[in-house]
Amino acid sequence: MCVSNDGVPVGAEDGAPDLARPGPAGETRRDLARALFACALAAALAPVVAAFRPLGPGSPPGKAEGDTAFDQTYRGRRIRGVWTPARSAAEDGRWHVTVDGRPLHLMRRADGTWLSMVDHYCSYGTPLEAARAAVDELGPGQRLRDRVPGPAGAGHVHMGDRHGVRA
């Protein structure tokens, strides 16, 4: 996921990227034990939770503000988000996020982070962070379109093989 405004020098590295970046340096054994316990608990609950949460734009993040809704002004833009739980087992719950009243389509990554159609090549920890990052990326005075084709619109694309390129 990406960090936009915390001052981490994202352009500073020169190769040899450390993907398996360790946690904060000051981590204690107790923190580690706690984390392991939390993991074990999560693993024990996982099958139960999975049974009720189909793959999809899953449950809202279970921590911090904005758990199921947010409504704030950021850089002069009104950003709102509402989590709508699934109404049946066959359906996914989903976030409805708007910027100045226009829908901002969010997608979820396998690691649980979120990306928006405005900022599509990196992801953020929460829908709120993704919405704020989208506002950062929107040019001054630019508004989202009301209707934007997304993955759901795949059926309306007609390209197929009509150009006849063959490998």
Partner 1 sequence: MAYVRKDAGTLTAAEKRRFVAALLEVKRRGEYDEFVRMHMAYFPSDGEAGLRAAHMAPSFLPWHRRFVLELETALRRVDSSVTVPYWDWTRDRTSSSVPWTADLLGGNGRRSDRQVMTGPFAYREGNWTIKEGVTEGAFLTRDLGRHRDPIALPTKSELKWALKDRAYDVAPWDSTVTRGFRNKLEGWGTGRGSTSWRNHNRVHRWVGGAMVSSASVNDPVFWLHHAFVDLQWYRWQRRHRGARYLPATPPGPADKQHGRIVARHEKLPPWDVTPNELEDVGRIYRYA
Query: Considering the rule CB under 8 A, would residue 165 count as an interface residue with partner 1?
Result: yes
Q: By the 8 A CB rule, do 77 and 142 touch?
A: no
Tell me the window of 12-20, 35-43, 62-70, 78-86 that interacts with partner 1 (CB under 8 A): 12-20
For residues 124 and 113, what is the distance between their CA atoms, to the nearest angstrom? 5
Q: Which residue type is seen at 106?
A: L
3-state secondary structure of 37: helix
Task: Say how many C-beta atoms besides its own lie within 10 A of residue 121's C-beta.
Answer: 6
Query: Considering the rule CB under 8 A, would residue 149 count as an interface residue with partner 1?
Result: yes
Q: By the 8 A CB rule, do 68 and 61 touch?
A: no
Half-sphere exposure of residue 140, counting CA atoms within 13 Å on the CB side? 0
Q: Which is nearer to partner 1, 34 or 109 (CB)?
A: 109
Query: Considering the rule CB under 8 A, would residue 163 count as an interface residue with partner 1?
Result: yes
For residues 16 and 160, what is the distance between their CA atoms, to the nearest angstrom? 40
Shortest gap between Cβ of 47 and partner 1 (angstroms)? 13
Shortest gap between Cβ of 122 and partner 1 (angstroms)? 5
Shortest gap between Cβ of 125 and partner 1 (angstroms)? 9
Q: By the 8 A CB rule, do 108 and 57 touch?
A: yes
Q: Which is nearer to partner 1, 30 or 39 (CB)?
A: 39
Rule CB under 8 A: which of 105-124 touch partner 1?
Answer: 105, 107-113, 115, 117-122
Query: Considering the rule CB under 8 A, would residue 14 count as an interface residue with partner 1?
Result: yes
Q: By the 8 A CB rule, do 95 and 127 touch?
A: yes
Query: Considering the rule CB under 8 A, would residue 143 count as an interface residue with partner 1?
Result: yes
Site residues for partner 1 per CB under 8 A: 1-6, 8-21, 54-58, 92, 105, 107-113, 115, 117-122, 136-145, 148-151, 153-154, 156-161, 163-167
